[in-house]
Amino acid sequence: MADPKGFLTTGREVAQTRPVAERVKDWNEVYVPGSLLPIISKQAGRCMDCGIPFCHNGCPLGNLIPEWNDYAYREDWTAASERLHATNNFPEFTGRLCPAPCESACVLGINQPAVTIKNVEVSIIDKAWDSGDVTPQPPERLSGKTVAVIGSGPAGLAAAQQLTRAGHTVAVYERADRIGGLLRYGIPEFKMEKSHINRRIEQMRLEGTKFRTEVEIGKDIDAAKLRRRYDAVVIAAGATVSRDLPVPGRELGGIHFAMEYLPLANKVQEGDLTVSPIHAGGKHVVVIGGGDTGADCVGTAHRQGAASVTQLEIMPKPGEERTANQPWPTFPMLYKVTSAHEEGGERVYSVSTTHFEGDEDGNVAALHLVEVEFKDGKLEQKPGTERRLPAQLVTLAMGFTGTDQSNGLVQQFGLELDQRGNVARDEHYATNVDGVFVAGDAGRGQSLIVWAIAEGRSAARGVDRFLTGTSALPAPIRPTDRSLLV
């Protein structure tokens, strides 16, 4: 184990963030560069090397957390990187973006602050990149089989890298102009700088993976024709249909889905635009939806100079401690203050939008809401609680409802869907169409980045088995596996 007394002698210490007044003026990551490395070995030493590491169960990737904690404690960064990559293709993504269900399942977390697993992870991978331990791993021989991967988010990239390393010739198709999916255009730069994606893509290119951008399967290429061109196809197109808010005034200008708003801000950072066409500067901004995507909108609005930012959530405010009905090691619903919330704005819970009010030009001017409460399992409005919020920009960040069917991909393949509108698959991630597999949110529904990578790795095994009759690739999860929730 690491330090036998570490959890007794060392307190939890997390990454240091830059001052709010400084970071809202730029789009760089919010953490102080280099602040983790001086403290991370002692933090890794807090790992108890418990007999049954429940952090493995909390993480769908099955990360070997006690092992790389031990190596990080001993500052054997090369060995730590090897253990980290044994289960995770992209730890620099998860180390920055994952909500860390592993920490919720940490045994130390029963009666103490959990090990800073996420910070240890990102320290190991950043050190590995800096020291040159991350190198291309091209296959020793080619199988002669070809695979098309539709979508370049974390599920598609994980599947593509696994299949390329297994010796198959893989081409990734992405409808956007750059590779990365939501990692590229859904995640703001201040949460993950896109240089982390770029160097992974370059590693994958050197391994042999091919990338095709600005090609939408179903529109630019008929899905059935694509299937005939390749020996197998992996659909990793995500669950990209945003949940709408059908209330009076929804048609007014200035009301946008989060995934209309956030990509444009990222386009500015990529140098494609000088100013975003949807800009919060000087406006009263209301974000509807209390999750991570909503927080991304909040942080983006701050950096664009919003006059005010208010985030609305229909659910009650969560507590700061685990409740009895969310016991360890499940992932609890706790009150979370993200870096974006530290930067200002108001958070309002237990409210529902009734309608939008417009100005004489047809643009949104205000939002009307009412407080709500649960009674007998139903959500009811509280009379006399209506109020009006000024709003010149509204972003809808209420989640996603399923995979996109408007481009013809589902129909052209002839795919069957499940009751939730996701692409149906069997235990090997295979769809009802021979040779066509599905991974990530397209099959699971809206989920976390760790689940997407785990699905990509698992689907790759199903594809490899289909192409060769057997497979040595790992499959960390089954399609039916779910998070540790009550």
Q: Residue 197 belongs to what H/E stretch?
A: helix 195-207
Each residue's pLDDT, cut to its tens digit, for the chain (486 residues) gives 678 899 999 999 999 999 999 999 999 999 999 999 999 999 999 999 888 999 988 999 999 999 999 999 999 999 999 999 999 999 999 999 999 999 999 999 999 999 999 999 999 999 999 999 999 999 999 999 999 999 999 999 999 999 999 999 999 999 999 999 999 999 999 999 999 999 999 999 999 999 999 999 999 999 999 999 999 999 999 999 999 999 999 999 999 999 999 999 999 999 999 999 999 999 999 999 999 999 999 999 999 999 999 999 999 999 999 888 899 999 999 999 999 999 999 999 999 999 999 999 999 999 999 999 988 888 999 999 999 999 999 999 999 998 999 999 999 999 999 988 899 999 999 999 999 999 999 999 999 999 999 999 999 999 999 999 999 999 999 999 988 654
Residues 6+ apart with CB under 8 A from 432: 414, 415, 416, 424
How crowded is the C-beta side of 389, counted as CA atoms within 13 Å?
Answer: 29
Token look-up 């990692």 returns: 183
| 3-state SS, residue 248 | coil
- The count of residues in the chain is 486
Q: What span, in angstroms and rounded, lies between the C-alpha atoms of 24 and 190?
A: 9
Measured from the Cβ of residue 344, the count of other Cβ atoms closer than 10 Å reads 15
Burial (CB count <10 Å: 0-12, 13-18, 19+), residue 194: middle
- Adjacent-strand bridge partners of 160: none
Question: What's the pTM value of the predicted model, to 2 decimals?
Answer: 0.96
Q: What span, in angstroms and rounded, lies between the C-alpha atoms of 421 and 280?
A: 33
| 3-state SS, residue 468 | helix
At 1 the pLDDT is 63
At 486 the pLDDT is 46
